[in-house]
Amino acid sequence: MRLVNVRHLLHRGTFASSVEATRIDTDIQNGIQRVCWPAGSGSFTLLNTPDGNGVKPIKNDFIAHLQEQGWQVEQRMRIASRIRPGKVDAVHRLQDGRHFAVEWETGNISSSHRALNKMAVGLLDGCLAGGALVLPSRQMYTYLTDRTGNYSEIEPYFPMWESLVVEGVLSVYVVEYDALSSTAPAIPKGTDGRALR
């Protein structure tokens, strides 16, 4: 899989310029590059059919890579004193006791907003030093489950998160396929409530 853009909505303070932050960015970028389809192919090829591929299995190689690097996966954590959000895809514990959280988008655009809001509140409360959301480009979105969160739809709201007056990191990693093929197997769709994902 290709990383086509990294957008830092917030990149300020001691942690942002630290060795730990650089290592986390490396973990995320290397994890993205490890994502392949079909499994074991060494590249990421999508079935060339609009709305023809599921999304949930896409993150599996990425999460496995982070786990190999010592990240904790599927963690339920109290990101803020006022809320108890659902599980976070992966978290890395920092030397100062805070965490860095990563979410890979497998839901709709409202899920993208919730993920960034959750991490922003964690930054404001001081329990997170940073967070990142991985989501598909608009080009890749065409071939995934309809209404999956994507970069183009959430980009107009970036000024809201960029206006945070706090130190830390809040980033969006934009991913895309390596190739399209009419003969590639479709990525299976699971169920997420009533929607196929």
Assign residue 81 the CATH number of its domain.
3.40.91.20
In a domain, 193, yes or no: no
Q: How many distinct structural domains can be found in the chain?
A: 1
In a domain, 197, yes or no: no
Q: Domain span at residue 76? A: 2-188
Q: What is the reported pTM?
A: 0.93
DSSP state of 193: T
Residues marked as catalytic: 105
In a domain, 7, yes or no: yes
pLDDT tens by residue, the chain, 197 residues: 999 999 999 999 999 999 999 999 999 999 999 999 999 999 999 999 999 999 999 999 999 999 999 999 998 766 655 556 678 899 999 999 999 999 999 989 999 999 999 899 889 989 899 999 999 999 999 999 988 999 999 999 999 999 998 999 999 999 999 999 999 999 998 665 444 45
In a domain, 35, yes or no: yes
